[in-house]
Structure 1
Amino acid sequence: MQVSETLAEGLKRELKVVIPATDLATRLDEYLNDMKSKVNINGFRPGKVPVAHLKRLHGRQAMGELIGNLINETTTKTIEERKEKPALQPEIDLSDDDAEKVLAGEADLAYTISYEVLPKFDIVDFSTIELERPIVEISEDEVDEQVKQIAESNRPFEAREDGAAAEDGDRVTMHYLGKLDGEPFEGGEDENGQLVLGSGQFIPGFEEQVVGMKVGGKKVIDVTFPEEYGAANLAGRAVTFDIDVKGIEAPGDVSIDDEMATKLGLESLEKLKEIVRGQIESQFGAATRQKVKRELLDKLDAEYTFELPEKLLETEFDGVWKQVEADMQQAGKTFEDEKTTEEEAKVEYRKISERRVRLGLVLSEVGEQNKVQVTDEEVQKALFDRVRQFPGQEQQVFEFYKNNEQALASLRAPIYEEKVVDFILELAKVSDKVVSKDELLAQDEDEA
């Protein structure tokens, strides 16, 4: 086998590989010798088929299989010997003009390997990175407010007397049917919908028009969906709802005590507060994690400037752009609505793609150098978490991931990233900074 480098420009590499026809012929004979003990051909005893006869019958097909295997084998070996790491799967170019002669054993096998190598860069000293970790101190008032909301959501209700009209605070059970331009719209019907009047759970103007209705009462009400409503086909649209009241219940008293906690399956009010505090800490802890991770990635992004593999970048950008187009189509918006143009948006999202690729390469290199590993148990847990998101389709989703290496890798990747981030944070200088809840939960304007 002869290998010659035909291109070494930046990260791009191109190699020409030539395997002499004599080598192919030797390998073909070995292949057919192995085959003759496995095939049954009329007129010949098992293992006694002449190689020449096999070559006439199966030579072309065998040579095709042999070439495919040989290209994979030699490509991997060639790149390994060069101690290079391709950014993506190398591309193989085998001239169609020579293919017939190669298959017939009349020409050398010559093909080109094209790929981009991963860039080389030095890892910074993470102990020089200084970060502020925003934390919220959870007050008793915060816990008490959450407990109050839990108590309110579990408030008892009792049926109102016959003929009573619904008032603010009452829980109304009703059948409602929403219509747009006189036609029912998806998601606009509930046979036994429950609504606490005055809670603000429904579209503005809906609850006020139910006040005063009685059991058995029917009514058509007019409301308008908010401009920012999630469903594009309903945002800002005027609709009607056919209302049929089935029941009206008056609110009972709420007591925040051990008895209330017992009804929730807990031994005491103190235990309920302990659980609530833990939930708040978990919520704020996740937000703190995201903030400090974002700050770390920003600092790493500022530390590194190196050439990116073009095809890796294009692959990332294509994925990002497809998601942008899908999101805009779902929201029913145009670039004009976002006060930009498609060209300007592409420039911005290309910058985002470059950042993602660069940071991905940095984190990957850090993880590899420091032997960060994702265990099978961690992937299994992520898989089960994913499966639970599809009730009724668990088995199909499980089989999809189990039989799809790329899909399984998509579960492993974020776990690996988080473990590498943890590794860096252990080495960086991280100081805590007390902030308000609003400051912690505020979204960064340029977050992506």
Structure 2
Amino acid sequence: MVIVQTEELGPCRKRLRIEVSADQVTQVRKEIVQQFSRAARLPGFRPGKAPTLLVEKQFQKEIDDELQKALVTRALREGIQKQQIDVVRVLGTEEVRYLDGLSFSFAALVDCAPVFALPDYSKTTLPRTETEVSKEEIDQALGKLLEARATFTDAGNRPLAEGDYAVVHYEGTIEGRPVKELYPAAGILAGAQDQWLLVKPGVFVPGFPEAILGMEVGQTRTFSVLFPEDWFFEPLRGKAVEYSVTLSAIKERHVPSLSDALAKEIAGTDQSGLLSMVQSAVETEKKRTARQAQSNHILNTLLRSVEFPLPESLVNEETENAVREIIAENQERGVPFATLEEKKNEIFSNARRLAVQRVKLRFLIDRIAKNESIAVTDEQLSGAVASLARRQNLPPRQFVQRISRESLESLKRQLLLEKVMDFLIEKAKVASV
């Protein structure tokens, strides 16, 4: 028999004091001793034939350790069921008391799912989104497709003009010191060899394309540019960099005209077929963007419509995940680690806010799914796994072996979110014009 007492430590945290009767302790210990007896190999006895008393004496510590693990696992599970607690995380055990032949007791700290009233999610009003595709959008998409097939030729003996592609060698300095030494993560902002650059305002560093206009092949020019205060690479914000640039070549770009031959090369069809494919792709992307906007609107509405406490352990775990994401994203943008270290408090604060939203949304989605009997089937999860495996050119079984249990659970949660969003979007009303 298991006796459970619950102590409230906070809105989502409890201490469970659990006692297991002496009879049950004796029964569990007997089972564990039998397991040890079957596996024991003692001198002078065939495997599994050693006397029980000898096995208990030889493996007393191991038996006691295994007994405590088994009792905690079984009693905690039974205690949670008895108290009907929705536990999201077991934080640990404490105050373990056990004497041979007597009852076993311990306390367990647990975080529980919050109790809250769901907002009325059946009457959400969505902003109207335009999904009809215009001719201009199709032409723009087709233009990008043709631009990807562009060819380049030398411009000949003439000055560099807007619209050209300049092949340049350049190096930046700040007060005489090379940028690449001051900021190793600056990349092409510090300098480059044989760098191709479209000569057009707004491309690359502000003021750089304008400063090289009129240059001739073989010429070197020195000029200074001032980086904007909102520049993506923080160390260069507001700083003046002097560039020394040598023009190696001037290239002209030639975008091909659409033809049946080119359409066949691109997509194995004629001009009409390619246009249809482009239109379909634009329509699909526009619908995807519209649905994402609707999803974001619903999620933001849900998050604003109700407040409830959150399990601290889940928020802390999600905060750690968010911090790693923010740091990785900034490092990809070239922000030095030293700069990130200086802003660690700001990063943590932003990560914490993001974590609170994610954990809150998780409980909202889970409750709506339960209310509406929405679930992810094994077939749907297997299909998603197979799709991810195909993207990595791996057999599904091998892909599953490579990913963690947490990753699989995260995928399942993402599928549930998508199914709930499908349901909410279908239920929602679209605002009139």
TM-score (norm 1): 0.75
Structure 1 residue 357 corresponds to structure 2 residue 359: yes
Structure 1 residue 110 corresponds to structure 2 residue 105: yes
**Offset of 1:71 from its aligned partner?**
0.7
Corresponding residue for 2:375?
372
Q: Distance in 2 between matches of 1:122 and 1:267?
A: 56
Q: Distance in 2 between matches of 1:321 and 1:167?
A: 45
The 5 A counterparts of 1:167-182 are 167-179=161-173, 181-182=177-178
Q: Distance in 2 between matches of 1:333 and 1:37?
A: 57
Corresponding residue for 1:206?
208
**Offset of 1:111 from its aligned partner?**
0.4
**Offset of 1:87 from its aligned partner?**
2.9
TM-score (norm 2): 0.77
SS in 2 for 1:233: helix
Corresponding residue for 1:228?
230
Corresponding residue for 1:158?
153
**Offset of 1:356 from its aligned partner?**
4.1
Letter in 2 for 1:140: K
Structure 1 residue 276 corresponds to structure 2 residue 278: yes
The 5 A counterparts of 1:30-109 are 30-89=31-90, 91-95=92-96, 98=97, 102=98, 105=100, 107-109=102-104
User: For residues 298-341 of structure 1, what are the alpha-carbon distances to aligned partners after superposition, in whole Å with 9 as ceiling and x for unaligned?
Assistant: 443455454544544555566557767888995958999xxxx9
**Offset of 1:364 from its aligned partner?**
0.5
Contact (CA 8 Å) 1:175, 1:243: kept in 2 or not?
Answer: yes
Change in Cα spacing, 1:224 to 1:350, as seen in structure 2 (3 Å) is closer
SS in 1 for 2:39: coil
Change in Cα spacing, 1:383 to 1:176, as seen in structure 2 (3 Å) is farther
**Offset of 1:75 from its aligned partner?**
0.9
Pick which of 401-410 and 71-80 moved more. Answer: 401-410
Where does structure 2 lack aligned partners over 5 or more consecutive residues? none
* Count of residues in correspondence between the two structures: 413
Q: Distance in 1 between matches of 2:342 and 2:265?
A: 52
Where does structure 1 lack aligned partners over 5 or more consecutive residues? 389-393, 435-448
Q: Distance in 2 between matches of 1:251 and 1:312?
A: 54
Contact (CA 8 Å) 2:327, 2:340: kept in 1 or not?
Answer: no
Contact (CA 8 Å) 2:323, 2:351: kept in 1 or not?
Answer: yes
Q: CA RMSD in A?
A: 4.0
Letter in 2 for 1:412: K
Q: Distance in 1 between matches of 2:119 and 2:210?
A: 61
Q: Distance in 2 between matches of 1:198 and 1:413?
A: 45
Contact (CA 8 Å) 1:401, 1:408: kept in 2 or not?
Answer: no
Change in Cα spacing, 1:415 to 1:192, as seen in structure 2 (3 Å) is farther
Corresponding residue for 1:391?
none
Change in Cα spacing, 1:191 to 1:27, as seen in structure 2 (3 Å) is same
Change in Cα spacing, 1:415 to 1:175, as seen in structure 2 (3 Å) is farther
Letter in 1 for 2:381: D
Change in Cα spacing, 1:8 to 1:203, as seen in structure 2 (3 Å) is closer
Q: Find the partner of 1:134 among 115, 129, 138.
A: 129
Letter in 2 for 1:376: L
**Offset of 1:417 from its aligned partner?**
0.8
User: For residues 243-295 of structure 1, what are the alpha-carbon distances to aligned partners after superposition, in whole Å with 9 as ceiling and x for unaligned?
Assistant: 44443233447535545545644534433433333343334323322322233
Letter in 2 for 1:34: Q
Q: Distance in 2 between matches of 1:253 and 1:317?
A: 48
